[in-house]
Structure 1
Amino acid sequence: MSSTHSSLHVHLVFGTKERVPWITQDLIVDFHAYIGGCAKGIGSLPLAVGGVADHVHILLGMGTSQSVANIVRDLKRESSKWMKSRRSMEPFAWQEGYGAFSVGPIALEEVKQYICRQEEHHRERSFMEEYRMMLEKAGVKYDPKYLE
Structure 2
Amino acid sequence: MSHSKTKIWIHAVFSSKDRQPLIQKKVRMILYPLIREQLTASGCYVDCINGVEDHIHILFLLNPQVAISDLMKHVKGSSSHEINRQNLIPEKFAWQTGYGAFSISESQIGRVRQYIANQEQHHRKMTFAEEYSQFMKNYGLIIDPDNGEINR
- What residue in structure 1 maps to residue 34 of structure 2? 34
C-alpha distance in structure 1 between counterparts of 2:127 and 2:46, whole Å: 25
2:64 partner letter: T
2:27–2:88 CA contact under 8 A, matched in 1: no
- What residue in structure 2 maps to residue 135 of structure 1? 136
Residue ranges of structure 2 left out of the alignment (5+ in a row): none
- What residue in structure 2 maps to residue 118 of structure 1? 119
Task: Compute the TM-score of the two structures, normalised by the length of structure 2.
Answer: 0.90
1:34 partner letter: L
Residue correspondence of structure 1 range 77-96 to structure 2 within 5 A: 77-84=77-84, 85-87=86-88, 89-96=90-97
- What residue in structure 2 maps to residue 12 of structure 1? 12
C-alpha displacement at 1:130, in angstroms?
Answer: 0.6
Which segment drifts farther, 70-79 or 85-94? Answer: 85-94
Deviations 1:74-118 (A, max 9, x none): 110111122112425352000101111110111111111111111
Task: Compute the TM-score of the two structures, normalised by the length of structure 1.
Answer: 0.93
- What residue in structure 1 maps to residue 103 of structure 2? 102
Q: Secondary structure at the match of 1:26?
A: helix
Which segment drifts farther, 110-119 or 79-88? Answer: 79-88
* Count of residue pairs brought into register by the alignment: 147
C-alpha distance in structure 1 between counterparts of 2:101 and 2:62, whole Å: 12
Residue ranges of structure 1 left out of the alignment (5+ in a row): none
2:72 partner letter: V
Q: Secondary structure at the match of 1:125?
A: coil
C-alpha distance in structure 2 between counterparts of 1:30 and 1:88, whole Å: 12
Q: Percent identity?
A: 33
2:102 partner letter: F
- What residue in structure 1 maps to residue 44 of structure 2? 44
